[in-house]
Chain A
Amino acid sequence: QEQLVQSGAEVKKPGSSVKVSCKASGATFSRYPLNWVRQAPGQGLEWMGDIIPIVGTANYAQRFQGRVTITADGSTSTAYMELSGLRFEDTAVYYCAQKGGGHCNGGSCYSLDYWGQGTLVTVSS
Chain B
Amino acid sequence: QSALTQPASVSGSPGQSITISCTGTNSDLGDYDFVCWYQQHPGKAPKLLIYGVNDRPSGVSNRISGSKSGNTASLTISGLQAEDEADYYCTSYTSSSTLVFGGGTKLTVL
Contacts and interface: CB of A to CB of B under 8 A. Distances in A.
Bind each other: yes
Interface string B87-110: 101010100111111111000000
A50 B97 CA distance: 10
B102 A112 contact: no
Contacts of B3: 44, 46
B105 to A, nearest CB: 9
Interface of A: 35, 37, 44-47, 49-50, 59-62, 95, 97, 106-108, 110-113, 115-118
A85 to B, nearest CB: 21
B64 interface: no
Interface string B30-65: 001010101010000111100110000100000000
A112 B104 contact: no
Nearest to A43: B104
Nearest to A111: B51
A118 B46 CA distance: 10
A59 B47 CA distance: 23
A49 B96 CA distance: 12
B46 A44 contact: no
A106 B98 CA distance: 10
A61 B48 contact: no
B52 A108 contact: yes
Contacts of A46: 3, 101
A45 B101 contact: yes
Nearest to B89: A45
Contacts of A116: 45
A28 to B, nearest CB: 15
* Nearest 8 CB-CB pairings of A with B: A107-B93, A107-B34, A111-B51, A115-B45, A44-B104, A47-B99, A45-B101, A44-B103
Nearest to A35: B99
9 contacts: A44-B3, A44-B89, A45-B101, A46-B3, A47-B91, A47-B98, A110-B34, A112-B36, A112-B46
Given A44-B89, A97-B45, A115-B47, 12 more contacts: A45-B104, A46-B3, A46-B101, A47-B98, A95-B45, A106-B93, A107-B34, A108-B52, A111-B34, A111-B48, A112-B46, A112-B91
